[in-house]
Amino acid sequence: MSRRTPQSPSWLPIDPYILMLVGTVVLAALLPASGAAAEVAGGASTGAVAVLFFLYGARLSTREVTDGLRHWRLHLTILACTFALFPLLGLAARGLVPGVLTPPLYSGLLFLCLVPSTIQSSIAFTSVARGNVPAAICAGSFSSIIGIFLTPLLAAALLGGGTAGFSGESLLKIVAQLLVPFVAGQLLRRWIGGFLARHKKVLGYIDRGSILLVVYTAFSQGVTAGVWHQVSPGRLGALLGVEAVLLALMLSLTWYGAKRLGFGRGDRVAIQFAGSKKSLSAGLPMASVLFGAEASLAVLPLMLFHQMQLMVCAVIAKRRSRDVLPEDGEDVSAEAVAGRVGASR
């Protein structure tokens, strides 16, 4: 197997896409969509997210699924981190209200702790760090699929009145927008998989453009509803500090906890990157359904955490890539897989 150290991610230390996200928020603040334009933007963002998850489903090959399924202990560990450990830390942060965080910001922080793990960034970081890439592919995919059902249920149980009103109809909307396109992509992969592989760069723009559209729509709703008057610079700074502590705790617990559970280096890398991150692409459409007009404030903690996790994990992945690996096969060569995944989000 090749021992060549992978190149550092092109977005280190700051992903240009992060700057585009910030620019989208500024655009929504200056020129928010309202009236008929808001209805058009909302419909377009719903369709864009459906296309995004259709592409996710079409890219995940059967072979990658079967390779990852063999390591069920790893997947259970990552799912426990995503949907048990994260929510527990979120509940523990309730003691920061109202001294550090306002109730709306805390609701957004707790919602952040409930959303699924990322797919592409988990794969990309695991690949750079020379970890168990097939397991990371399946872990991120399983998390997203399970999260379609579990995140709304957890939000209803833990957020209570903090959501705009969870119901069976809300769950059906999320399933229709995320799960149905994903399954359709899996079913059609046999015929369109080759086309997607040949045009992965163009499709990467579609991925990112979809998220930018959802961000613009959500923040436009917030601007028109006047929710940004509720957040002061001091509160934003406090939120960043809380999220930095949350990320540091999860990175430490996933890395050292996986060691205590007996996982090898390659698996520990996958657990750390898949178990410590949260998906912006999955969280945004869920927040739009669950929080309604207050979605822009609810997703603010998720957006900030998303940027923070990319920058911190980029540094960690680069350092992990320089590890001297033994000759017993723990080095999972990932160049071929890395070529199939898109840029981290």
Q: Any idea what DSSP says for residue 5?
A: P
Instruction: Answer yes or no: is 329 within a domain.
Output: no
Q: What is the DSSP string of 76-93?
A: HHHHHIIIIIHHHHHHHG
For residue 144, CA distances in Å to 29, 168, 281, 312, 318 come to: 30, 19, 10, 22, 26
What's the pLDDT at 268?
94
Q: How confident is the model at residue 215, as a pLDDT?
A: 73
151 domain residue, yes or no: yes
Residue 326 domain-assigned (yes or no): no
CATH number at residue 105: 1.20.1530.20
Q: Give the helix, strand, coil percentages of the chain, each rounded to 5.
A: 75, 0, 25
Q: Which of 271, 278, 282 is CA-nearest to residue 316? A: 271
Q: What gap in Å lies between CA 121 and CA 236, rounded to an integer?
A: 25
- 236 burial class (0-12, 13-18, 19+ CB within 10 angstroms)? middle
255, part of any domain: yes
The CA distance from 265 to 275, in Å, is: 15
What pLDDT was estimated at residue 326? 65
Domain membership of residue 137 as a residue range = 35-319
Establish if 237 belongs to a structural domain: yes
Whether the upstream peptide bond of residue 32 has omega within 30° of 0, thus cis, is no
What pLDDT is stored for residue 47 in this prediction? 79
pLDDT of residue 37: 81
Instruction: Check: CB of residue 114 under 8 Å from CB of residue 302.
Output: no
Domain count, the chain: 1
- Contact at 8 Å (CB) between 301 and 243? yes
Supply 151's token pair: 């995140």
C-alpha–C-alpha distance, residues 94 and 142, integer Å: 29
Which pLDDT value is given to residue 14? 57
Residue 129 maps to a domain: yes
pLDDT in tens, the chain (345 residues): 333 433 444 444 556 766 787 788 788 878 888 778 878 877 787 777 778 778 777 776 666 666 656 778 898 999 999 999 999 999 999 999 888 998 889 999 999 999 999 876 787 788 788 888 778 877 877 887 788 888 888 888 888 655 545 555 656 766 777 778 878 888 888 888 888 878 777 777 776 777 678 778 767 766 776 666 667 888 889 999 999 999 999 999 999 999 999 999 889 999 999 999 998 777 877 887 777 666 777 888 888 898 788 778 878 888 888 877 664 344 444 333 334 344 344
HSE-up of residue 188 (Cα within 13 Å, Cβ side): 15
**pLDDT at residue number 160:** 67
- H/E stretch holding 273: helix 265-275
Residue 336 lies in a domain: no
The token duo for 109 is: 């922080």
Q: Is residue 236 part of a domain?
A: yes
Residue 176: phi, psi to the nearest 5? -65, -35
pLDDT of residue 19: 77
pLDDT of residue 9: 46
* Spatial CA neighbour of 44 closest among 170, 169, 218: 218
